[in-house]
Chain A
Amino acid sequence: MARYTMVVLVKQVPDTKNITGEAMKEDGTVNRAVLPAIFNPEDLNALEMALQVKEQYGGEVHVISMGPPSAVTVLKEALYRGVDYAHLLSDRKFAGSDTLATSFALKQAVKTKIPDFDIVFCGRQAIDGDTAQVGPQAAEKLGISQLTYVESIELLEENKIKVRKLTENGSEIVETDLPALLTVTDTANEPRPFIVKKLLKYRKAACEFDLPSLRVKYPNFKDVDSLRDHLKSKGLYIEMWGLDDIDADPSQVGFAGSPTMVKKIESITLTGKGFKKVEPNEEEIKEFVAELIEDHTW
């Protein structure tokens, strides 16, 4: 049976989807502080697709998330769902990276740390930026084929992959050689829930920056090093890679590596023009409907 080495690229995002009146400040702008950080929804579909390939064909699944230390939360959630390895790509020097710089850092991480990969999976896009650019850009930088808007894998042969991908007019079945990068749509599958056994195990997983506080909690470890060794031996140590670990050129990440710059950000403020309030009683609605019809609104 074929065994595939798979890498899933995931992002922690603010939950921008369900912004209700409560999340709106009085000046009409969004109160970001009340938005929880979540696993980017379509990255969960990408993760599910990778886990299904592992079940059907065999192999191992790595997850990489680039972001601040808090992104370790989504890595743990990936472990709860059954991935084999989770890695955090985090360095202050990555701050300010646009999609080009991000795809460069992710490429470096995959190339240096998981060079024998067969398939890279990404969600179609992230809900905070909605750009859908990092996947194709990472594919270009890795020098491999990209298959975007993938809904299902139809067939995997030794070195070939056949997928169904969505287009404006319908869908198409496309084949390419491995290695390849796939971006996965939310119609692809239903992401699995946490597996209780994994949850019980990996909720104790920790990253380097967790160690000092963990050490205080577990004083029987004589120092941070012995705690780290212990976690590693149990498979509970989440590796963190920085710029030097992935051998990245600092001029290609962060602000320096980002050709796009933000000139201006405007929070949306709501302004009503010519607003008319209609009371929800029979009389007013009757009048309102009559007015609409007389205006030849439709």
Chain B
Amino acid sequence: MGKHGEVWVYAEQEWDTLHDIGVELLSKGRELADVLGVKLAAVLIGSGVKKFSDTLFAHGADKVYVCESSSAEYYDTAKYSKVMCDLIKKHHPEVVLYGASTRGRDLAPRIASALRVGLTADCTDLQIGDFSKDGTDYKNCLYQIRPAFGGNIIATIVTPKTRPQMATVREGVMPTPPEQSGRKGEIIEEHPDLTGVKNITRVLRREKTEKKVNLKGAQVIVSGGYGVGSRENFKLIYDLAGVLGAEVGASRAAVDAGFIEKDHQVGQTGTTVRPKLYIACGISGSVQHRAGMDQSAKIIAINSDPAAPILGIAHYGIIGDLNEIIPMMIEDIKKRRVD
């Protein structure tokens, strides 16, 4: 081992599927490992999970720690946390990244508490840099960058004194690294000891519900905010989406007001999207909303408030009453289609 320990990515898997988030994390993980001059490793926990190693190598991992146990077939906080804590204590990684998924956000804080190390949630960027405090210089710290305070500030957090430095990263924030098929790496098989683990949960039943709303895959999204005014009036948003073949999104304020279901929510606490076209209707544009859509290739904002923050990131702004503007747009689009 060199001066630093490795950079690790927890590669979440479930239902016999490797989750996208683990692969996404490898792109940033690769960058950090290269800056630090250390190896990038992925960690797999479960039963029959070794087969995912090739995918992880192809996306940038140098090593894969395979922790297989028949009693770790299903995710359990206490068991997975024990496996991860034991592995960290054995190999001393410098950095450990987790997806900010329901699983990652269940597991990572439990591990951080047990190891008494820092953890930063929902990072949108990670960098390596120096930090000074009270006359002490800390070299090569992990800058954990995330929106906070409802997304109205961007905070850079460091954990200079404890190792590993840990963070969860939101899905969709990091690009998926290109696949280099045939790229190989080293598999390290671990044999976790799970006897006597306390506080176990038993999953009695699982229900898989297909998500009706597919915001992540949408090329065009028409989103409505609190300014749409009512649940009934959201029909306008659906109509515009209809002529564009678009998916319908919403701001948190619209969801909270009961205008539309939560699975449509775009933003820091909803879905992060990067479509080719994003039309924000009646959305003032809190930073928490913008954090979830500002990577869209083209943004159109329709708003009656000329001071609405959304206009600050929009490529086109139409200031006026959406009840008049949207029907005009629908008509024009229909006409052009016929032509």
Residue A103, interface by CB 8 Å: yes
Query: Which of A18, A260, A282, A293 contacts B328 (CB under 8 A)?
Result: A282
Cα distance A279–B277 in the bound complex, in angstroms: 20
Of listed A32, A258, A271, A276, residue having the most chain B CB within 10 A:
A276
Cα distance A127–B317 in the bound complex, in angstroms: 29
Residue A20, interface by CB 8 Å: yes
Q: Specify which chain B residues have a CB less than 8 angstroms from the CB of A145 in the assembled complex.
A: 77-78, 199-201
Interfacial residues of chain B within 109-124, with CB under 8 A of chain A in the complex: 109-110, 112-114, 116-122
CB <8 Å contact, A278 and B157: no
Q: Specify which chain B residues have a CB less than 8 angstroms from the CB of A262 in the assembled complex.
A: 155-157
Q: Specify which chain B residues have a CB less than 8 angstroms from the CB of A99 in the assembled complex.
A: 109, 119
Residue B91, interface by CB 8 Å: no
Residue B333, interface by CB 8 Å: yes
Cα distance A209–B131 in the bound complex, in angstroms: 40
Residue A214, interface by CB 8 Å: no
Query: Which of A16, A131, A270 contacts B309 (CB under 8 A)?
Result: A270
CB <8 Å contact, A132 and B121: yes
Given contacts A170-B206, A276-B316, contact A147 B336 (CB under 8 A): no
Query: Which of A260, A270, A274 contacts B119 (CB under 8 A)?
Result: A260
Stretch of A47-55, A81-89, A160-168 at the chain-chain interface: A160-168
Residue A97, interface by CB 8 Å: no
Q: Specify which chain A residues have a CB less than 8 angstroms from the CB of B232 in the assembled complex.
A: none
B 298-309 binary contact with A (CB < 8 Å = 1; else 0):
100000010111
CB <8 Å contact, A137 and B110: yes
CB <8 Å contact, B284 and A130: no
A 11-50 binary contact with B (CB < 8 Å = 1; else 0):
0001011111100100011101000000000000000000
CB <8 Å contact, A176 and B110: no
Residue B105, interface by CB 8 Å: yes
Cα distance A162–B201 in the bound complex, in angstroms: 10
Stretch of B48-56, B146-154, B179-187, B188-196 at the chain-chain interface: B146-154
How many whole Å from B106's CB to the nearest CB in chain A? 5
Q: Specify which chain A residues have a CB less than 8 angstroms from the CB of B119 in the assembled complex.
A: 99-100, 133, 260
How many whole Å from A165's CB to the nearest CB in chain B? 8
Closest to B144 in A: A260
The interface size of chain B toward A, counting residues with CB under 8 Å, comes to 95
Interfacial residues of chain A within 238-286, with CB under 8 A of chain B in the complex: 258-268, 270-280, 282, 285-286
CB <8 Å contact, A19 and B110: no
Cα distance A264–B154 in the bound complex, in angstroms: 8
Closest to B99 in A: A168
Cα distance A141–B111 in the bound complex, in angstroms: 11
Residue B137, interface by CB 8 Å: no
Cα distance A275–B184 in the bound complex, in angstroms: 47
CB <8 Å contact, B311 and A261: no
Cα distance A298–B277 in the bound complex, in angstroms: 7
Chain A, interface residues (CB within 8 Å), range: 35 or more
Q: Specify which chain B residues have a CB less than 8 angstroms from the CB of A95 in the assembled complex.
A: none
How many whole Å from B96's CB to the nearest CB in chain A? 14
Query: Which of B113, B246, B276, B313 contacts A270 (CB under 8 A)?
Result: B313
Q: Specify which chain B residues have a CB less than 8 angstroms from the CB of A17 in the assembled complex.
A: 150, 252-253, 256, 286
Query: Which of A148, A259, A271 contacts B116 (CB under 8 A)?
Result: A259
CB <8 Å contact, B318 and A140: no
B 93-104 binary contact with A (CB < 8 Å = 1; else 0):
000000001110
Given contacts A16-B152, A145-B201, contact A289 B329 (CB under 8 A): yes
Residue A169, interface by CB 8 Å: yes
CB <8 Å contact, A132 and B109: yes
How many whole Å from A1's CB to the nearest CB in chain B? 24
Stretch of B2-10, B30-38, B59-67, B158-166 at the chain-chain interface: B158-166
Q: Specify which chain A residues have a CB less than 8 angstroms from the CB of B284 in the assembled complex.
A: 19-21
Cα distance A29–B286 in the bound complex, in angstroms: 11
Given contacts A169-B208, A263-B131, contact A136 B309 (CB under 8 A): no
CB <8 Å contact, A277 and B317: yes
How many whole Å from B241's CB to the nearest CB in chain A? 11
CB <8 Å contact, B201 and A274: no
CB <8 Å contact, B102 and A187: no
Q: Specify which chain A residues have a CB less than 8 angstroms from the CB of B316 in the assembled complex.
A: 275-278, 288
Residue A199, interface by CB 8 Å: no
CB <8 Å contact, B262 and A167: no
Q: Specify which chain A residues have a CB less than 8 angstroms from the CB of B103 in the assembled complex.
A: 167-168
How many whole Å from B224's CB to the nearest CB in chain A? 15
The 20 listed contacts between A and B (C-beta, < 8 Å) are A16-B151, A19-B152, A130-B121, A133-B109, A133-B112, A143-B199, A145-B199, A148-B105, A162-B204, A171-B209, A172-B204, A173-B206, A175-B204, A259-B159, A260-B158, A263-B158, A265-B154, A285-B329, A289-B332, A289-B333
Binding site for B on A (CB under 8 A): 14, 16-21, 24, 28-30, 32, 98-100, 103, 127-137, 139-141, 143-149, 162, 166-177, 187, 258-268, 270-280, 282, 285-286, 288-290, 292-293, 297-298
Binding site for A on B (CB under 8 A): 14-15, 77-78, 81, 101-103, 105-106, 108-110, 112-114, 116-122, 131, 133, 143-144, 148-162, 198-209, 219-220, 226, 244-246, 252-253, 256, 262, 268-269, 276-277, 284, 286-288, 298, 305, 307-309, 311-321, 324-325, 328-329, 332-333, 336
Q: Apart from A260-B157, A288-B316, A298-B219, what are 12 other A-B pairs with CB-CB below 8 Å?
A: A30-B149, A145-B200, A171-B206, A173-B204, A174-B202, A176-B199, A259-B118, A261-B160, A272-B311, A286-B328, A289-B336, A297-B298
